[in-house]
Amino acid sequence: MKAALISTAIPWQPPPHHKPLKPLCCSKVNGASSSPSPSSSSRIKLQVSENAELPQPRIQSGEAKETDVWRLFREAQKNILHLNQHRLKAVEDLNKTNSEKQLLIDKIEQLEREKQASVGKPQDRLSSCWEVLLRIDSMVLSRMIAAGEASDLRRLVMDHKMSLAEVFDGTLQKTDAELLAELRHFFARSRRYSSLDLDEIQGLQEIEAESFSYFNGQLHGNRIWTGVVYGIGVTLIQPLEYSEFFNREKVYGYSDDFERFTYFSRASLDYIVKCGKQPDVIHIHNWETAIIGPLFWDIFANQGLEGTRILLTCHDLNSQCLEHPDKLALCGLDPSSLHRPDRLQDNTKSHLVNILKGGVVYSNNVVIMSSILSKGRVIHTLSHGLDPTLNIHKNKLVVSPCGFDNSTWDPSKDSFLPQNFNVEDMEGKAVCKAALQQHLGLSEHASTILIGCIVSEDVDLENMRAVIMKASKSDVQFIIMGTSKLSSIHKLGSLQEPLKDEQVKFVNECDAAITHLVFAGSDIILCQSFHDPVLQVPLKALKYGAAPIALNSSHDNFRNFAEHDYETTNFSRFISSTFGNMSISEVLDGMKNHPSKWKRKILDAMEMDFSWDAECCDVHCSAYTAIKKS
C-alpha cells in the first residue's frame, strides 16, 4: 500500500485530538518479523520524509484488519496535509494584504506629492474630492474602517465628486471621526432613494435641448442647466421670454404670482417630456407648483409618462391661491372642465378656482406637514376651508413632522460654540452657558437657570410678559431674541420698559453665532408653538439639551394635541409625554427639586432624532414607494 506524501514544509506535530504515538519498531525473532513490540531489545524507528514511500506492514496471514497503530498513523498524515494547506493559504493572504498596503502607501505618497506641488494655489472642487479619497485611504491603513466600507465610500465620492467637493471642502479642518461620520451620513441618505428613478447628472453643464412652456396661448423657450446638490439631481430653468417674472427681490408676494409659478410649472413638465425623462414620482410643493397636478393628468400623462405619479407636500394649508377660472387657459388648461366642485372650484367662493385644491385632487398622495396635530385635527381644524376636499381624499393623506438640518445644528460639531458637547460628555454645555452669560453681561452662576426665547413677528407679547414676570420671582435669567429684521424686534421695545431687570436681556443682533449660543447655553427654551416649520425652535432645543416649553401651555392646541385615536407623529407622541403639558413653573420645580431625574429626561431628549433625515424623510420615502407600486 502506497503511503501519502508528507510535506516537510512544517514539522509534523501530533494532532491535538490524538494521543502521541510511540515510535514504531520492528524486531526479529528467529529470523522472522514479528508484530511491533515496545519490549523488543532491537528496534528500528521509521522516519518518513518527502518523496519517501512508506513500507507496507506485513500482515500475518489470517489477519482481517490493519492494526490500530497504522490507522492512527494515516489520520495523522491527513491532519498534517490539512494544516499545511491552511498555512499556505495564510501565507498567500498575508502577501496579498502586504501588496495592497504597499499600493495604498504608494498612492498616498503620490497624492501628498501632488498636494505639496499645489501649495499656494486655490483649491478647486476636484482637489477637495481627491483630498477626501486620501483621507479614506488613511482610515483603512489605521484600521478605522474595513476595506469593504472604504470601497463603498470611494465609489460614493467618485459618483458624486462635484457635490461632495462642496460638502466636504476643507477636510483638513475635520478629524477622521468627523469626516467618517459625514461620509456615512451622506451614504445612508443616498441609499434611501436607490430604488427610485431619480435623475442625477454630474457637474454643472448646459445641455443642448431647449424646453418650451405654453403661456398665454404661445410657446416660449427656456434655457436649461442641470447639476447635483447633496447627491440629488437639480435642473435650473432660465426663461428666455418673460424673464421679468423671476428678476424680483422676493420669491413670493406679488400680484402676478399665479402667472409666475404657472409658467414655471408648465416649463418644468415641458422639459421632462422634451428630454425623454420618465420619472417614477414628480414631487410638488404647496400651491406654487400644485397646478402641475391638473397639467400632468390633462396634458402630459399620455406623452410617455404613463408610469409617472404625483406627490404633493403641503407645508401650509392657509396659502391656497384663488383665481378667476379663465386664467387657467394661460398654461393650456380648459377652464370649463376644471371649474367644478370635484376639481378646482373653491369650496367657499364658487366663482373662483382654488389652485391648492387642484393639487390635492390631482395628486396620488398628499403629505401634510404638521409636527403636533393628527390627520383628523388637521382636516377638521386647520384646513382653512379645504375640509370637504380633504375628507373626500383622506385615504391618500399622510402627516409628517417638520425637521431641522442636523448638519448645521449639532452640538457635537457646532463650529459656533466655544466647546462642543454630546450625551456622553455634557461639560461643553456648562461652558456654553458661561460664555453666553458673559457675552450678555449676566451674572455667571452655574446654578442659575437660563431661559432663552427666540420670537417671531406674531408673538403674543402680553402673554410673554406675564410668563416672564411670573418666572422672574425665581432664580432665573431671561434672554429674549428677535429674528432677523422682522417687526417683532421693534415690538420687543414694549417689553423692555416694564421688564427692566438685570436678569432679563434683549438681543437685537441676529447673527448665527449668538443664535447657536442661545440654544447651547439655555436650560429652557420658550416656544411660541411646537409646530414651527420656519424656525424649528423646539426641535433645535431638544438637540441642544434645552427643555422646549410652550409660552401658553394651557391652550388646547398644546394640552391635547396628541389624540390616541388619530394618526400622530413620533415627535407629537414624544413631546406630549415629556414637555408638552408642562408649565414654566412645573419645569422650574422639576429642575430644582429633582435634578437627577430632570437630567435623565434632557439626555433622553438629546438622543432622539427629529431632523429632516429622520421621520420626515421616512414618511416621504414610504409615500414614494406606495405611489410607485400603485
Domains by residue range for the chain, with CATH: 1-59+66-102 (no CATH), 205-403+621-628 (3.40.50.2000), 427-610 (3.40.50.2000)
Whole-number pLDDT of residue 341: 95
In Å, how far are 327, 328, 511 from 502, measured between CA atoms?
59, 59, 23
For 212-243, what is each residue's pLDDT tens digit? Answer: 777 777 777 776 665 555 556 677 787 877 78
List CB contacts of 599: < 8 A, sequence separation 6 or more: none
For residue 537, is pLDDT > 90?
yes
| Through-space distance between the first and last CA atoms of the chain, rounded to whole angstroms | 72
Per the listing, cell 501632488 goes with 114
For residue 562, is pLDDT > 70?
no
Measured CA to CA, the distance from residue 172 to residue 131 in angstroms comes to 8
Percent of the chain with pLDDT over 70: 73
Task: Kindly report which listed range (14-18, 243-247, 393-397, 578-582) carries the lowest average pLDDT score.
Answer: 14-18
Task: Kindly report which listed range (35-39, 189-193, 244-248, 261-265) carries the lowest average pLDDT score.
Answer: 35-39
* Mean pLDDT for the stretch of residues 460-476: 78
Please tell me which residue, 537 or 96, carries the higher pLDDT value. Answer: 537
Query: With bands split at pLDDT 50, 70 and 90, how would you rate the model's confidence at 198?
Result: very low
Whole-number pLDDT of residue 297: 96
Measured CA to CA, the distance from residue 531 to residue 533 in angstroms comes to 6
Query: With bands split at pLDDT 50, 70 and 90, how would you rate the model's confidence at 498?
Result: low
Whole-number pLDDT of residue 25: 43
Whole-number pLDDT of residue 141: 78
Residue-by-residue DSSP string for 414-432:
-TTSSS---SS--HHHHHH
Whole-number pLDDT of residue 225: 65
Closest to 405 measured CA to CA, from 511, 279, 543, 559: 543
User: Would you state the cell numbers that stand for residue 349, as one nine-digit string?
Assistant: 367662493
For 46-60, what is each residue's pLDDT tens digit? Answer: 344 444 444 444 545
Whole-number pLDDT of residue 486: 47
Per the listing, cell 421621520 goes with 615
Please tell me which residue, 181 or 289, carries the higher pLDDT value. Answer: 289
Q: Buried b vs exposed e over 173-210: b needs ≥16 C-beta within 10 Å?
A: ebeeeebbebbeebbeebeebeeeebebeeeeeeeeee
Mean pLDDT (the chain, rounded): 77
Task: Kindly report which listed range (308-317, 391-400, 457-466) carries the lowest average pLDDT score.
Answer: 457-466
For 121-136, what is each residue's pLDDT tens digit? Answer: 444 555 677 778 788 8
Whole-number pLDDT of residue 43: 38
Whole-number pLDDT of residue 30: 43
Task: Kindly report which listed range (137-151, 153-167, 171-185, 342-356) carries the lowest average pLDDT score.
Answer: 153-167
Percent of the chain with pLDDT over 90: 33
Interior angle at CA 520, CA 173 and CA 410, nearest 5: 45
Measured CA to CA, the distance from residue 296 to residue 311 in angstroms comes to 12
Extract long-range pairs of 69-77: CB within 8 Å, 24+ residues apart.
Answer: 69/21, 69/24, 69/36, 72/18, 72/21, 73/21, 73/24, 74/3, 74/4, 75/15, 75/18, 76/12, 76/14, 76/15, 76/18, 76/21, 77/3, 77/4, 77/6
For 14-58, what is each residue's pLDDT tens digit? Answer: 444 444 444 444 444 444 444 444 443 333 333 444 444 444 445
Query: With bands split at pLDDT 50, 70 and 90, how would you rate the model's confidence at 525?
Result: very high
- pTM of the shown model: 0.67
624 Cα distance to chain centroid: 17
Task: Label the pairing between strands 524-527 and 504-507.
Answer: unpaired
Whole-number pLDDT of residue 557: 46
Residue 284, Cβ neighbours under 10 Å: how many?
23
Query: With bands split at pLDDT 50, 70 and 90, how would you rate the model's confidence at 295?
Result: very high
Task: Kindly report which listed range (195-199, 260-264, 346-350) carries the lowest average pLDDT score.
Answer: 195-199
- Are the C-beta atoms of residues 310 and 362 closer than 8 Å to each other? yes
424 Cα distance to chain centroid: 21
Query: With bands split at pLDDT 50, 70 and 90, how would you rate the model's confidence at 300?
Result: very high
- Are the C-beta atoms of residues 238 and 225 closer than 8 Å to each other? yes
Query: With bands split at pLDDT 50, 70 and 90, how would you rate the model's confidence at 259?
Result: very high
